[in-house]
Structure formats: structure tokens, C-alpha cells
Structure 1
Amino acid sequence: MPTRDMTVNDPLEDFNTRTITLEGASKIVQVSGTGPAVIVMPEMPGISPQVARFARWVRDAGFTVYLPSLFGTDGAVPTVEEGTAVMQRACVSAEFRAFGANRTSPVTQWLRSLARLAHQECQGPGVGAIGMCFTGNFALTMTLEQSVLAPVLCQPSLPLDDPAGLEIAPDDLQEVRERLQRDDVTVMGYRFAGDTWCRAERFAAYTAALGDRFVGRVLPDSAANPEPPPFFETVVASPHSVVTAHLIDDAGEPTIAARDEIVAFFTERLTR
């Protein structure tokens, strides 16, 4: 994949911009690649150049990437001002449950339908799903859709007001537990040790809820990119985005190892 400048807006020229209507709602989805489907959900504040770079890595590994636009401006570099405004709007949006544990964000119903559509379009054993930050837990809820076989939670940050809380309703969580056990589905999770938005208590809560179906990876803070985009440097202000804003794109880096493990997870689950 050609090297791109992460400090300028990404035109996403190698993606097919589609308007997809599901569950009575229409959303823009950037689609690229061939092979089994992987839903890549953007982190706050949107489809940044770093999120698009990760999607391309997944695509180039042999998958069709579906990158839904859930907030922000597609391809934009995350600035402090716009990023903060996007986050504030998302926190009060009816689609998300940013505060208060034990509640499922309504947007996950649309995302489950997207996974079902992607599986119909791409075939194969099933679909992968990765959520990041604000969307981190959505990949777990999406396992309520039978086609989702490879869920990945990167720095899941909701609920924002409860470090040990989980952004999923108790009834949904019980169904998820049953589905993971019944279909032998593993949930992968990634965070930095010093992340103030996704703390150790959250991974402990996932372990308590899912047992050995949850495999958590914790990277040292020293592995994080020390010069992330302005929004992450100023607003996030801690090591946070494992495979995007805080990834160091050099061989041998722990964040590259995490990226490779995620891609291998998709390959193992979706191409057998």
C-alpha cells in the first residue's frame, strides 16, 4: 500500500461511496476490496486518515471493507475544535448511549443489519467487525447477528462516566454470552495500559461477563505514537488508539504486532 501523508485530509478515492438504507435509516458507507466482509467502525471523531489507513490494511489482506460514516467528516484530519464539536454532538445523539452502563446504543441495530447485508454481498463463512473508542463495544453487540464471527474491541470507551461499566443492556449481554459459547466465538480486545478513556476496570468487566471468550491485550504506554493528530494530543491526552492515531508504523512496533494479530484473527475466522 502506498505511503500517505497522515497530516492532510484523505480523499478516500479508492473507496466506493455508497448510501445504504437499513432499519429505516440511510448512512454513507465507504466500501473497498474483495473477499469476506469486515465492518470497520470509526473512532471519534470520524473516518480520519489513520482510520482509513487501517481499513486499507484490512482490505489489502484480502477482505471487503465496509467503513460506515457514523459521525464527523469522512477523511478529515482530527482537529481539536471540530473533533470536540463532533464528540459533543454524538454524546447527545439518540443513536448512542455515551453515559450510563447497561444500555445498548440504538445504532447497533443498524450495524447488525449492515453486517447481514455485507455477508449476503460478499459470502464466505461470515463477517468481521472492529469497533474503536466510541464504537468500541459495538462489535460485541453485533455478535447478536449470526454472521458476525470475528469481533474486535479496540479501546472501548463507553460509557464515558463509568470506567467499569459496559455499554450493553443486560438482556443483550446474556444473549451474546450464549451465542459466543454456542458458536465458539472469541472476542478480542485491545487497549493501552495508561488509557484514561478505556481503563483496566473495563477489561476486567469484560472478563467477568464473558470469561475466556474475551481475550484482552494491553500494550505499554511506551508503544504509543508520541505525536498523534491534534485532537488526540489535546483532547484524548493519553495513549488510546491502538491501531490508528497512536499506532507507530514501523516494523517491530507493538502496535504493528497488534494490527497483524487482528488481521490474522479475521483471516482465521473468515477464510476457513
Structure 2
Amino acid sequence: MPPRFLFQSSFKAFTGSSYVPSPLATLSLKPSATSIRAGSAETRERRRHDPFLMAQSRQRKAANLSRRQALTQEREGSLGDPVQSESTPFVQQLKATQSGPQVSAASDGDLNYFLNSERLEEALEYSKTLTSPLENLDRDTADPQLEKEMAERHLQQHQNAQAAIDRIVNINNGNTEDQMRLRIQQCIEKFGRHNTDKQFPPKPAAVSHQSATAHPEKTPRVGQDTGSPEVQVAILTAKILNLSRHLQTTNKDMHNKRNLRILVHKRQKLLRYLRKKERGGPRWQYLVETLGLSDAAWKGEISM
């Protein structure tokens, strides 16, 4: 008897081709829905119509945003603010705004027009002497009551003139340019090396070799120091505080916002140079502590 071969009969009509696709080939031509990427258009459309998936998506987004905000606050808290300075006595002096007119004699830090208190007192005493009433040389015909009234009137006029002069020369009644000029002078007197060299010891000199080139001695400083990096940093800090106070009320001043960014980055370069030059010595510590500067003022990238 001849052998028999078992095969499954096909119920499809014959179309003229003898090719029969395999089941694996059919699966590869029609992939399942589970292999679709999570960000595809079909998945987004399905998520849009599924309230449960939408709620999960919103929850994940809110968690990511809160985590990002927490990390940003932690980073800013560790480094500090690159623009604002901490509250120190010198910073409070730089932030001094306009107050009411002062009647009493002001100190040297509150006088305008390049005046000091000693010169002002001398000028007021000289004017009081010039305007004082003359005494009658003939005491027999002199009227003591009239002389007393004239002296009281002269004293009252002198007090009125002194109060007017105090208001005129008070820096709080001056314009912004005069106030900034005075702040710059305060920075020079505070951080200038003609004053700070007396406080800090000189840096140790390097050991010179016999074959090294002999450099001439430096010419001693004459006058005030205005070019050292710590003085320039203090002046830039005074300008930054002034601009930041102005921008708190005028948010649309794009020109001064750009000027503020320029000043902050210029101060950052000077601080990096000074830290490299002084190697974190006493001069660097004195500058940072007096101006209330944080690590964000010189470390890393400043984004404003």
C-alpha cells in the first residue's frame, strides 16, 4: 500500500499563486499595539480620551515641577544671591536712601559739594562774626535793651541761616549723581590700599634666585588708591545696589536690566581674579565680609 501524507486542506480559493505566508510573517507585518512608543500620536490620543491616564500624567508633571523648584531653591540657598548683598553696616550705608531734611549739623558722610564738617563750622562761625551787630562805643548814650534785642534777632537769623545751609549741603537732598559720587568716595576710603596696607601684613616675598632678573623697586603710592581690584569691586557693588533698587519698581526698563547684568559679570571677573591673586587671604575675607557677598557672586555661571 502506498504511504499517506497528512496535510491541512485549504478552504481559500485559488488565486493563481502558490505562496502561503507563515504565521510568524503575519505577526511581523501587523505589530501589536503594545509595542507602540509612549510618545506616539496613537498613545497621546488614547491618553487624551482616558481620564485615568490624564490624571496620572498631570500628577507626574506636578511632581517633576515641584522637585525642580525644590532643587533650584536648594541650589540658590547654598550659593546665595549673585546680585543682592547680605545686610552689613557698610552695605546699609550704601543703601541709604533719601530721608527727611536734617536741621542739625551733619557728619562728613552726609555733606555734599565736597565739604566736610570742620570747614562748614568754620565758615558758619566766620559769617556769624561778620554779621554780628556793632556795639556803641559811647556807653553813656547806649541803650542796653536795644542792644539785647538786636543780639537776639541776630542769633535767630544765624540759626535760620545755619538750618538752611544744612539742608542745602545734606547729601540726602542731592541728586543721584551726587549720592553715587559720595558712595564711591566711601568705597575708596574703606578699601583703598593707602588705608588697608596699614591693617593687613604684606604678602611674603618670593625667594629670588641668583640668575633671576633684578626688578627695580616699586614707586611708593602717592594719594588715594582707586585702581586696586577690591576698590573696583566695592564701586561696582554700590552701582549694582543702586540699579537693583531702581529695577524693583520699574520692571520694563530693559536698558538698565542689561546694564545690571554687565556690572554683575564684571564684578564676577574681578572677584575671581582677586581670589586667585590673594588665595583667599585676609584681604579677600575682609572684602567679602564687609560687602556681604555670597559664593554666587563669583562662583559658577550667573544667569539673570
What range describes the TM-score normalised by the shorter chain of this pair? Answer: under 0.3
Greater percentage in helix: 2
The alignment's TM-score, normalised by the length of structure 2, stands at 0.23
Greater percentage in strand: 1
Larger Rg: 2
The alignment's TM-score, normalised by the length of structure 1, stands at 0.25
